[in-house]
Chains A and B, each alone.
Chain A
Amino acid sequence: MLDQIHPLRHARTGFRILSLLFVLALSAGSADEKKIAVFSPAATYSITVIDRDGREYAGLLEMLEPLGKVSSIIDGPRWTLRYNQIDAEFTNGKKRARVAGHEFDLPANFLLENGRGLVPVASLNYLLPRILGTAVNFNPAARRFFIGNVAVHFTAQLTRTTPPRLVMTFTAPVNPTVATEPGHLRMTFNRQPLVAPGTPTLTFDDKTIPSATYSESNGLSEIAVNGTVPLMASFSNDGRTITVAPAPQQAVAPPTPAAAPAGTSPAGVAAAPNAPGAVPSAAPLAPRHFYAVIDAAHGGEDRGVTFNGKLTEKDVTLALARRLRQELESRGIPTLTLRDSDSNLTLDQRAIFANTAHPVVYIALHASAAGKGARIYTALLPSGGENNGPFVAWDTAQSAMLASSQATAQGVAAEFSRRQIQTRTLSAPLRPLNNVTSSAIAVEVAPPDTDVTDLTLPAYQQNIASAVASGIAAMRDRLGAPR
């Protein structure tokens, strides 16, 4: 038996190494590498397009693997693929194929290369519905493949305010890469199945934001907002709304977290717009300085730890965040909370909103059933992350503030100890701590004893919140003023 397993194991190990090298080579590939983006309810991914004899080919196995159970068998020139219960047969160098017992011709020969079955990209539009058994929509020019009803639509509306604001509302949360350049603000959607509006160019009859253009290519879609002044984008409504507005002039008003999905102190900024009509029209971009940003971890579909049938980490952290905000404000510390409802933010969004607010301290809240009391974490910085001049590496953005964060953690821990709450200070690979550019700590609250439901005790939560707030307040002189 061992004699039979060993050759196969070596073959698997070799195949994995080759696969890894292949993946590394792909990731290091040129930016203009041809790709097909696949959007489906099960997964969003992209596969590489290969040119053979002037035609574009794609690996059929790679295309189907993220979508269901798939296997293939090579028998000489014949390549048989099984996806769930559907069999598809191809022959190397032949156009004729058979899917689920029905024969048809591909627009070009099927290719078998190193065990990979390659089909012409032009055949995917009618090949995949037969294999998947569901409707697909393929845009070959943009190389974007939609399986099922996953498309995200958007509307854009310009508010006639001073300054004007372009409010884009999406049918699902989006998280584009935003880049600004003179005259344009570009939002590139890598992973969202965004589809074109009725017309690719939207005009607004406005001097500041005259138009926006939608385009798509090589699996990506992009919205370019044209402006006569520098523009900035802000996210709200759990990523379903993007508001583009003129960037505030530094001399007049520093950047504000005006569109952060936040609950704020009474002295804080206006609430985030939930719909175009709710945009704070003509809201003055007054300087806002938050000393502390509170981030209740998890939320929405991300429940965090499920302690029992009903009690979840996201609910405990939200309750703690509200108490902590109250405690900080009662000590005269202006506070911004990133989440004040059962909504979710990505880790990147949390860091972006925190960094935009330029607080002195960022406090993430977690909850756990393990151990007792509280644990206070600072960032465990990952490897790499070179800073180039004014550009700071995202993964190690915390590096310059790590000593300050550790001092903050020690200050808060001292307050816990003073109240005889069991506490530990540790570093942790816990995002977004490493992405935050201010002092940043995470507090993980465990029950006072063995009963996890004690996490919901108002007195216990209040004691924890009060301890954190007192620790922060005691550190105020050392941490300095808001930037």
Chain B
Amino acid sequence: MAESRQAVCFLTDQPGSQPCQLTLGTGGLLIEPAVGPAVRWPYPDLKCEVGGEDRDWLMASCPAAASAIAQVALRDPDTIAALAACSSGPTHDLLASFADHHQRHTRRSRLTLALGGLVLAGFFIGGWLLLTRLAPTIVAASLPPASERLLGQLAVAQLLAGEERIAAGPATAALKTITERLVAAIPANPGYEFEVHLVASDQVNAVAFPGGQIVVYSGLLAAAGSADEVAGVLAHEISHVLHRDGLRQLISRLGGTAVVRLALGGGDFAGLVAQLGELDQLAYSREQEQAADGAGLQLLAAAGLPPRALPDFFKRLKRQEAASLPGFLSTHPDTAARIAALREQVARLPAGPAKPLDIEWDAVEASLP
């Protein structure tokens, strides 16, 4: 007696599916639904196709016989193999290759999913790059220097609140002289007005804000060996302003819309200004630092000051404090490598006429707190 096998039937006059038993008899396929009369479909009259969401069901019907069963769904591999052995022609071919259909379908689904995943990942990475890299540059480029100056002034006011400033004396005068010399040598100033503020603090640091505001801590002057070394640091900071690095950091931090609204005098003023004060803690990217180094050296040379003063100062600092490096030096790129790169660039710079600064450095040092 032929073995009875499990399948699912769809009846013509009843909704839904119901279980049924299949028997592969000699005269054809015997189908016995749980409810209703049994039918027998002759093998040559069977119409088979691959069906189901995963193409893993064999859907069999018998259009020639007007039976109460519309379609039988089965997927047991043994039953399908046994049915293939009983059939011939295209039906046999389909049944014999049934497993391949499902495998092909699964492979194709996985492949498109993987490709789609890659496209999606590319889309998100592209979007991220656009937002973090391109957007700040675009917004920065569209703000006029006057708006940048306003932002810088707000940030400096926030930073200097509660700090002791040194508004007059030999140190302030020296910074003014150095800044004027450097600013005069800027090849194409788009309208930045530079202003240096000196703060009484042990910190060895200098910070550039959008629009030309630069804050120098007296600790930096105490650490420097000469006015030329301070000029090196200021040339580096002026280059950050000219490259709009601070503005781009600000846009990344606050978002472009907030910066534009702030520059135009709208928005949550107090909240945004509070965040501006943290700007000195923002680290510039390695590329921004390298670009400011290179441009700073050129500015020094154009101003008739010795470019080697910048790597010399870095070297001095590195010797003085191995533990913590000031913000403008950052920890990246690696200071030793940075000094080496700077010296290499200094060696390549054409030697121009030297115009020494007229500053009594001893008097400056003596005036520091």
Q: Do A and B come from the same complex? A: no
Which residue numbers of B lie inside 8 Å of A, CB to CB?
none
Which residue numbers of A lie inside 8 Å of B, CB to CB?
none
